[in-house]
Amino acid sequence: MSDQIYKQQIELAKLIEHYSGQDGVNTTEIPSLYFIRRSHVTGLNHSVYKPSLCIIVQGAKEVLLAQQRFRYSPSDYLVSSVDLPVSAQVVEASSTVPYLALTLEFTPSQILEVLRDFNIQVSKKENAKRAMFVSPMEKSMLDAVIRLARLLDNPNDIPVLAPLFTKEILYRVLQGPHGGTLEQIAIEGSSTYLIKDVIEQIMINYNRTFRTEELAEIANMSVSSLHRHFKEVTAMSPIQFQKQLRLQKARQLLLSESTDAADVAFQVGYESPSQFSREYSRMFGFPPKEDIKRLRETYDESINA
């Protein structure tokens, strides 16, 4: 890592510390920008990554997409180009050198705008590729990210300048080694674009049962093509994707409401509570009741520490 990049990361770390205030995911005055701080390593956290750019300035993280593992640190950045259910954990952090990172969310329309404004030539015929990738960090990328973060010191400038700096950041990603993967989500008719439509339907209607033929029709593909392209993009089948969404939502409901596992199983689309309990245990390591009790105890300990 160059001295220039190291100095940029020190400045960015100071900004994240200043505007975070506490451990966790912290919103900022820029709606699409989030600062993350962790003062200790974490266990696996299950969530859905929206289309976003993730940059670490201190510490390291591992993200598990199905069986594929992505590790990134201050020397690189991670991009998710579509909604993806993942498991992630901070693997390097301490009270003296906390994990510090930021996430910048974006939309396909923003990618398309960059492609048009900068007249970037793209290929509509590219095969679908994995919608998550890690690329080496570059000075030009951090330049734009720091300028975006500095706007928090001058909130009146955010409405005008934040969209410009975000556009520059996305341009840098598109010019990077995996830029072709990102551009495909915005190109109408590309395999990734069509799979994105299927993902959106599953995200919205995660608790209903889809026929494979119905999903294939949404993508305007054959059933075999749907399965192949969906797995290339997400590393899992449509059924596995939906199952992860259902189980994540079930865990959220169990944590936030005083309801039993059987009720939650039906809410998220399961017909069999026993099947729900088996699949929940397989994903989270404990049966629903035991898992929620453990999570609440861990939360109480962290509050009282």
d(CA 64, CA 128): 20
**Same structural domain, 148 and 255:** no
269 occurs within a structural domain: yes
Range of the domain at 31: 3-185
Q: Is residue 223 part of a domain?
A: no
Does the residue 199 lie in any domain? no
Are residues 145 and 59 located together in one domain of the fold?
yes
- 51 and 122 part of one domain: yes
On whether both 56 and 173 belong to a single domain, the answer is: yes
pLDDT at position 124, please?
Answer: 63
Residue 126 pLDDT: 66
Residue 224 within any structural domain of the chain = no
Question: Looking at residue 125, what is its pLDDT?
Answer: 60
CA–CA distance, 65 with 85 (Å, rounded to integer):
7
Q: Is residue 16 located within the same domain as residue 138?
A: yes
pTM of the model: 0.92
49 part of a folded domain: yes
- 10-residue mean pLDDT profile of the chain (305 residues): values are 87 96 94 97 95 98 97 96 97 97 96 89 73 96 97 97 98 94 89 94 96 95 96 97 97 88 96 96 94 80 44
- Record the tokens describing residue 252, joined without a space: 């959220």
Residue entry with tokens 């939502």: 249
Q: Check whether residue 160 and residue 298 sit in a common domain.
A: no
pLDDT digits (tens, 9 = 90+) for 145-185: 999 999 999 999 999 999 999 999 999 999 999 998 999 99
Distance CA 272, CA 262 (A): 8
- 12 and 147 in a single domain? The answer is yes
Residue 192 lies in a domain: no
Q: Is residue 212 part of a domain?
A: no
Mark whether 12 and 126 lie in a shared domain: yes
Query: How many domains does one find in the chain?
Result: 2
Residue 2, pLDDT score: 80
121 is a domain residue:
yes
Domain of residue 43, CATH code: 2.60.120
- Check whether residue 25 and residue 101 sit in a common domain: yes
- Rounded to whole angstroms, the Cα distance separating 203 from 176 reads 29
Query: Which of 191, 217, 222 is closest to 125 using CA atoms?
Result: 191
- The CATH code of the domain that includes 258 is 1.10.10.60
